[in-house]
Amino acid sequence: MDENLKKTSEQQEGMLSKYALVLTSIKGIGVKTFSYLIPDELKEKIKIGQPVFVPFGKTRYINAYVVGFSNYLEEGIKAKYISKILDTTPVFDMNYLKFLEWTADYYFCSIQNVLECAVPIKFLNEQKTELTQKFAEFVSFEGATKRQKEVLEKLESKGKVNLSEFVKEAKTTVLTMKKLEESGCIKITEEKLYRNPLEIFKNTQLQEFPKLMPEQESAYKEIEKRLGSHSCILLHGITSSGKTEVYFKAIKKVLEQGKNVLFLAPEIALASVLTQRLAKRFGTEKTAIWHSSISEGEKFDVWQKIKNNEIRILAGARSAVFAPLKNIGLIIIDEEHESAYKQTMPSPRYDARTVAQKLAELNGCPLVSGSATPDINTYYYAKNSGNLLELKKRYNDYPMAKVHVIDMREERFKANNGIFSQALVKAIENNLKDKKQTIILMNRRGFSTYTQCLACGEVLQCPNCAIPLIFHSQTQTLRCHYCEHEEPMPETCPHCGSETLKNCGTGVQKVEIIAQKLFPEAKIVRLDSDALARKNLHIDILNEFSKGETDILIGTQMLAKGLDNPNVTLVGVINADNSFNLPDFRSSERGFQLLTQVAGRAGRGNNPGDVYFQTYNPEFFALETAKEQNYDNFYKTEIQSREEFDYPPFSKIIRIILSSKNQFRAERSAQEITLRLNDIVNKMQLAEPIAVLGPSACVIEKLQERYRFQILIKNKLGEKGHRLIHSFLSKIKLPDDIKITVDVDPLDIL
């Protein structure tokens, strides 16, 4: 935390201050704050959140935001004067700045860091801030020539028109129009043109609200009761139970109350689809989208509209939680179990769900999270605070899919060594015959899982990371999935020179090739992150699939999200054990969520569906409960083991990673920090509620040429423990070759 900034931002206006602290982004320097003198004539006008124009260096001028005031200057600094205020209406206010400060504190990073991912700062440094468009309107015929009158007649009949379009249409010139304006025959106005990606829905009729089913209606009523004060509600509804309509009715109510809504979706593609639905229901003018991939120009437009309170519903992916939407009456987080809500790289490693909770608290409004397979933490807190709402019926009573568990050990016993079990092959054949669609999940990218020399046993590894390289069939290369490393597949073993390299294990590309051999007549398409080289390609793939042009869609976990296609009647999971076998405390939860979500893709209409889980471990509880699609039973077992080992929700985890190109130095620095941390905790007699574990080598011990050692802290002291660790870490000084990474509430500990 920048102490200077913290102190000065207590003050909302600059009237009494000598200096303003401004925030800016400079190429090569990054996001930083600087102090500037406030000219007397600006003292009464200057406010937090205003964009200003300031001199920088010898010749340059740059744009910046006012973020604080002070009467003091750091020693040795000579401040220059602010040149002018670019816009007197602040783009954000004190409360917003405080919210960002909280985020910086919670995630142990600087406020500059948070501001960088929140505010479209880069945009400030470009010249063109907004697009405008000119319009023309008829005023009078007086004083016009004969030729001009013809133009005026056309204009009169049209009302207000876009100037450049009209010039073309009326076969006249801009100069003629200017002259007409000068003689008072027409009026030309200039209006701001917002770049609105929802423009295409502008003139479509608004969709009506359907009548809710009784279960949906009572869930809605419970949300309605809680509007106007803060609570964290979980809407736990099985797949196809109609959560979205419950959200929509709640949004309608909040808008009627004159408040605004923030709606988060886990991914950009889902956020886009969601925004379209919102626009069709509530109108394009009130709705906007925000995520990391909209252009800085679009972002700036949304900022402007938010500032003018024109946006009533803001939808977006995780970064939308930082959009400066005011007067929020409801925050919704859909598919709240998705790991995409957490930013893992770069810092701040924030979790939009945690940040949204704080935002809801500051706004005194409810946070509604929804999922068919909620995060264990969310479920635990909602259940214990009386804020758990459940939808147990499928919309229109659509039947649930029937899940079959195939024991692959028996297949091997029957001498079937293939990737597909006999039962799954038969089911796919029947489905193809019935002209129905199939989804196959294989949650591993690439062709195989590792490449091994059968002569000497060498497994080919990434030179930068302690991770096997993965063969990719299309490019005939070996790739590392953790860094950018890629190399041609060697013909001989680099270790012993034998020509016996084998691509072992199964990846999604291998499944695709085998499926094409097994079902030569079928149209098969693969969907994984390697297929996403072209922008929007996956939207095209999903569109084709939903139009019924694809028979079998094969892919990684990307498949499990948001696909809603009534013609899908069969789902096959090639290796259901896959996600359970990671050495991580969340692996059962992740596996259960993935299997339940993908099973939910089958039989979404009136067609009953079938789901096949192929496994070597059919008795595992997470697999059994996923088979029954029984979240409650899964939760009961999982929460016990979390309690037994003090994992969240029974503690909060802080993960510290020390890394260096030198293995010994990385390990030694981790040991030193652990010792000092233990020392403090023991002295304060807090060793029980603040457990320090490690150091130990990370599961992925070497990543991008750096050796990694981790310390895990299980904090059962809440805020007090958090502050203690924060102050300890902020005092640590490390040599330049050692890097420290702190991850608060990490999603994995690999």
167 lies in the site for Zn ion, by CB under 5 A? no
Q: Using CB under 5 A, which of 122, 158, 358, 485 touches Zn ion?
A: 485
Candidates 172, 227, 504, 475; CA nearest to 368 is 227
| Candidate segments 386-394, 447-455, 614-622, 738-746, binder of Zn ion by CB under 5 A | 447-455
Cβ closer to Zn ion: 495 or 636? 495
| 524 vs 554: CA distance, rounded Å | 7
Cβ closer to Zn ion: 483 or 522? 483
742: enclosing H helix or E strand: strand 739-744
Cβ closer to Zn ion: 39 or 497? 497
Which residues in the 44-73 window bind Zn ion by CB under 5 A?
Answer: none
Candidates 384, 376, 386, 382; CA nearest to 649 is 376
Handedness of CA 249, 253, 256, 261 (dihedral sign): negative
| Candidate segments 261-269, 365-373, 460-468, 631-639, binder of Zn ion by CB under 5 A | 460-468
Cβ closer to Zn ion: 495 or 502? 495
Q: How far is the CB of 662 from Zn ion (least distance, A)?
A: 18
Q: How many CB atoms lie within 10 A of CB 72?
A: 12
Q: How far is the CB of 346 from Zn ion (least distance, A)?
A: 18
Q: How far is the CB of 506 from Zn ion (least distance, A)?
A: 21
Residue 13 near residue 47 (C-beta atoms within 8 A): yes
Cβ closer to Zn ion: 47 or 702? 702
| Candidate segments 14-22, 82-90, 354-362, 448-456, binder of Zn ion by CB under 5 A | 448-456
Q: Which amino acid, one-letter code, is at 43?
A: K
Residue 306 near residue 326 (C-beta atoms within 8 A): yes
458 lies in the site for Zn ion, by CB under 5 A? yes
| 693, two tokens | 């574990």
Q: Beta partners for 190? A: 134
| Candidate segments 130-138, 283-291, 360-368, 483-491, binder of Zn ion by CB under 5 A | 483-491
Q: How far is the CB of 558 from Zn ion (least distance, A)?
A: 22
| Residue environment code for 52-65, b if the CB has 16+ CB neighbours within 10 A, otherwise e | bebebeeeeebbbb
187: enclosing H helix or E strand: strand 186-193
Q: Using CB under 5 A, which of 462, 571, 626, 656 touches Zn ion?
A: 462
| 410 vs 545: CA distance, rounded Å | 33
Candidates 618, 597, 592; CA nearest to 405 is 618
CA separation (Å) from 222 to 233, 386, 404, 582? 9, 11, 37, 39
DSSP string, 165-182: HHHHHTT--HHHHHHHHH
| Candidate segments 17-25, 176-184, 384-392, 465-473, binder of Zn ion by CB under 5 A | 465-473
| 91 vs 88: CA distance, rounded Å | 9
Cβ closer to Zn ion: 449 or 615? 449
Q: How many CB atoms lie within 10 A of CB 342?
A: 18
Q: How far is the CB of 503 from Zn ion (least distance, A)?
A: 14
Q: Which amino acid, one-letter code, is at 219?
A: A
Cβ closer to Zn ion: 163 or 504? 504
Q: How far is the CB of 216 from Zn ion (least distance, A)?
A: 48
**Would you call 226 helix, strand, or coil by DSSP?**
helix
Cβ closer to Zn ion: 465 or 738? 465
Q: How far is the CB of 458 from Zn ion (least distance, A)?
A: 5
| Candidate segments 69-77, 168-176, 270-278, 472-480, binder of Zn ion by CB under 5 A | 472-480
Q: Using CB under 5 A, which of 278, 288, 480, 747 touches Zn ion?
A: 480
- In the shown chain, the binding pattern of residues 489 to 528 toward Zn ion, with x for contact by CB under 5 A and - for none, equals ----x-xx-x------------------------------
Q: Using CB under 5 A, which of 15, 456, 684, 732 touches Zn ion?
A: 456
Q: How far is the CB of 528 from Zn ion (least distance, A)?
A: 19
| Candidate segments 434-442, 454-462, 616-624, 687-695, binder of Zn ion by CB under 5 A | 454-462
Residue matched to tokens 């691509």: 503
| Candidate segments 141-149, 220-228, 476-484, 737-745, binder of Zn ion by CB under 5 A | 476-484
| 403, two tokens | 């899940």
| Candidate segments 210-218, 360-368, 427-435, 455-463, binder of Zn ion by CB under 5 A | 455-463
464 lies in the site for Zn ion, by CB under 5 A? yes
Phi, psi torsion values for 121, nearest 5 degrees: -70, -40
455 lies in the site for Zn ion, by CB under 5 A? yes
| Residue environment code for 415-429, b if the CB has 16+ CB neighbours within 10 A, otherwise e | eeeebbbeebbebbe
Q: Using CB under 5 A, which of 42, 278, 400, 465 touches Zn ion?
A: 465
| Residue environment code for 593-630, b if the CB has 16+ CB neighbours within 10 A, otherwise e | bbbbbbbbbbbbbebebbbbbbbeebebbbbbbbbebe
Cβ closer to Zn ion: 169 or 486? 486
Cβ closer to Zn ion: 496 or 732? 496
Q: Using CB under 5 A, which of 453, 552, 653, 658 touches Zn ion?
A: 453
478 lies in the site for Zn ion, by CB under 5 A? no
Q: How far is the CB of 697 from Zn ion (least distance, A)?
A: 16
Binding-site residue total for Zn ion (CB under 5 A)?
15
Cβ closer to Zn ion: 484 or 644? 484
| 734 vs 215: CA distance, rounded Å | 57
Residue matched to tokens 């994992």: 647
Cβ closer to Zn ion: 503 or 569? 503
| 324, two tokens | 């400066």
Q: How far is the CB of 656 from Zn ion (least distance, A)?
A: 22
Cβ closer to Zn ion: 271 or 467? 467
- In the shown chain, the binding pattern of residues 627 to 646 toward Zn ion, with x for contact by CB under 5 A and - for none, equals --------------------
Phi, psi torsion values for 9, nearest 5 degrees: -75, 0
| Candidate segments 19-27, 431-439, 451-459, 707-715, binder of Zn ion by CB under 5 A | 451-459
Q: How far is the CB of 444 from Zn ion (least distance, A)?
A: 16
| Residue environment code for 384-402, b if the CB has 16+ CB neighbours within 10 A, otherwise e | eeebbbbbebbbeebebbe
Q: In what order do the strands lie in the sheet with 470-472?
A: 470-472, 477-479, 486-488
Handedness of CA 634, 635, 636, 642 (dihedral sign): positive
Cβ closer to Zn ion: 163 or 483? 483
Q: How far is the CB of 555 from Zn ion (least distance, A)?
A: 23
| CA dihedral of 272, 278, 279, 281, whole degrees rounded to 10 | 150
| 642 vs 451: CA distance, rounded Å | 36
Residues near Zn ion, by CB under 5 A: 453, 455-456, 458, 462, 464-465, 480, 482-483, 485, 493, 495-496, 498
